[in-house]
Structures are given as structure tokens and as C-alpha cells.
Structure 1
Amino acid sequence: MENILTITGNVKYTITLDPGVWIFDDRRVDLTTYFSQTREITDANEVYTKAVSKHWDREIMEGAIYPPTLKTEKKFEKEKVLTGTFGIPFKPFLLNSEPGPDAKRLVVQTKSEEIEFPLDTAYDIILGYSKDGKPLITDGPVHIYLGDGSNQENPIKDIIGFTIK
């Protein structure tokens, strides 16, 4: 049970986080490249519409094409999952907890201290949960990376829970 984290406090719903299942989550990000890439903030609906339109146009012009490398792509993805360093954005979990209208801070409890962040900054946090394909057993279950990557070399470790105040 020490790998389970909770978001409690001034929230409508207490959220339980299990980093062991995030390896299967499509929201995962590769921490080796995440902070070096430029990211555009876009509307997910717009991105989806453009992707579907592009695919539809290609099928109209060329006919349906099934990629011959589907098996190798699956193998590559499996290999990447088994050897990669991954994290997941904290924002969806915070949004699902529905912080109270007067909530202003996120308090991160570690084994040795409590660290406070403004709630606006907390939405940009990335929770690292694996390194080189292995779960963070010794100083985990998650590491906190700030959204701007400023603590990329020295993330916050030994997290035991989150409280919204």
C-alpha cells in the first residue's frame, strides 16, 4: 500500500493514485525528451478533427492503406515501455478531485518535509513514475518535476501524499 498516493483536503472528491498502472496510460510522457521539446497548447478537439480529416483525405485519394510495419511498431512500443523513463501530467488528477473554490495551495508530503506550491503551478507538475523501465521503488513511488523543467536534474522524491488547502 505504500505505492498508493492520495489527493485530499479541500477537494470535492478524494483521489487515489496508483503509479503502477500508469505505464498503460496514453497520457504518459517520455521524461528524456519532454522538457527539451517545444509544446504547443492546443485544443484537443481541434487536433483530433485535423488528424481525422487528414486520414480521411488520404483514404479518399489513395484508398485504405494498412501499414506493413504494424508488428514492428508494436514491438518497438513494447520495448520502449520496458526501457523508458516516463511521467504523467498531474493536471487531470487535480481536475478530477475538484478543488474547492477557495483552494489556493497544493501541499506535497514527503517522508521528511512538506512542500507547498501555488495551485496554479501545481497544474503543470509532471509525476515521474519509472526510470529506465523500472518503477521508482527506493525513493518513489513518484518524483515531482516542475512544469518548466527547472528541477529536472533534482526532482522532489519520497512523496507520500498530496493535500489541497
Structure 2
Amino acid sequence: MENIISLSGNVKYSITLDPGVWIFDDRRVDLLSFFDTDKEIHDALEEYTKSISKHWDREIMEGAIYPPTLKTEKKFEKEKVLNGTFGIPLKPFIQNAEPERDAATLIIVSEEEGEISMPLHEGMELVLGFSINGKPLKEDGPVYVYYGDGRNKDNPIKKVKALKIR
């Protein structure tokens, strides 16, 4: 149970976070490139349209059969997952916990640094790192906390035990 992190406090639902399953989550981000790229505002309809267009173009060019390039793409994705350095945005978890209207502060409880508090809107931009080179963070984890702008990407908050909203 030491790998489980609770998100509780002034929220409608207290939730537990299990970093061990995030490797399968589509929201995961590659931490090696995440802070180096410009953030774009994603439009779901536009992304869907682009993916359908890409699929349509592939069918036009290669036919509607299962092309061999897809097999190599899947193998590459598998290698990337097994060897990657990943994190996941905290925002969806905070939204699922449904902070109360008067909630204004996020507190990170860390064994190393004690309690670190920040405005909730800044906490929504945090990224929780959960693996380095394909390995879970067992020694000083279970997660590392990175600020959304990457200002602590070389020195994240480690040994996080809980997240509280007040």
C-alpha cells in the first residue's frame, strides 16, 4: 500500500491514486520531451478529424488491408512503454475528486520536504512522474511532482505520500 497516494480534503470524493497502472493510461506524457515542447490547446474535434483523415489517407495509399507498417508501429510503442520516462497530469484526478467551491489550496505531503502548499489553479498544472527508463519509482517515489512549466524538472518533489485540497 506504500505505492498508493490519497487525494483528499475539501473535496466531494476522496480518491486514491495508483501509479502502477498509469503506464496503460492514454493521458501519460513522455517527460523527456514534455517540458521542451510548446503547450498547445487541444481541440477534441480537430484531433478526431485529423486522426480520421490520417486513417483515410492510409487506406487510399495502401488499401484497406492491414499494412505491415502498423506491426512495426505497435512494436515501437511497446518498446517506448517498456523503456520510457513517463508522467501524468494531475488535473483530471483533481477534477474527478470535485473540489468544493471554497477549495483554494493544494498541499503536497512529502517525506523529504514536508508540506508544500500552492494555489489550486497552479496545482491543476502539476505533472506526476511515475517511471524513469521504464522502471517504477520505488526508492524515492511512488511519484515525483513536477510543476507544469518545468521549472523543477531537474529537481522534482520526491517521496510524495499524499495530496490534500483545502
Which TM-score bucket, shorter chain as reference? over 0.9
CA drift of 1:70 comes to 2.0
Cα 1:59–1:76, aligned 2, differ >3 Å: closer, same or farther? Answer: closer
Distance 1:38 1:6 in 2: 31
2:79 maps to 79
Which whole-Å CA distance do the structure 2 matches of 1:89 and 1:116 have between them?
18
Q: Provide the rounded CA distance (Å) in 1 between the counterparts of 2:53 and 2:23.
A: 30
Give the corresponding residue for 1:152: 153
Kindly state the Cα deviation for residue 60 of structure 1 after the two structures are TM-superposed: 6.3
CA separation of 1:60/1:134 partners in 2, compared to 1, >3 Å: closer, same or farther? closer
Q: Show the 5 A alignment for 1:5-154.
A: 5-56=5-56, 59=59, 63-64=63-64, 66-112=66-112, 113-154=114-155
- Distance between the aligned counterparts of 2:75 and 2:54, measured in 1? 26
Give the TM-score taking structure 1 as reference length.
0.92
Give me the CA root mean square deviation.
1.7
CA distance in 1, matches of 2:46, 2:27: 17
Equivalenced residues, count: 165
**Whole-Å Cα distance in 1 between the matches of residues 21 and 54 of structure 2?**
32
Gaps of 5+ in 1: none
CA deviations on 1:66-115 (whole Å, 9 max, x unpaired) are 33222222211111111110000101000000000000000010114000
Measure, in 2, the Cα distance between the counterparts of 1:8 and 1:145. 20
1: CA distance between counterparts of 2:64 and 2:92?
35
Amino-acid identity (%)? 64
Runs (4+) of structure 1 exceeding 6 A deviation are none
Q: CA–CA distance in 2 between the matches of 1:21 and 1:140? A: 15
Change (3 A) 1:150 1:10: same
Report the 3-state secondary structure (helix = DSSP H, G, I; strand = E; otherwise coil) of the residue aligned with 1:147: coil
- With normalisation by structure 2, the TM-score equals 0.92
Q: Post-superposition shift, 1:149?
A: 0.4
The AA in structure 2 aligned to 1:137 is K
1:62 CA displacement: 7.1
**Partner secondary structure for residue 12 of structure 1:** coil
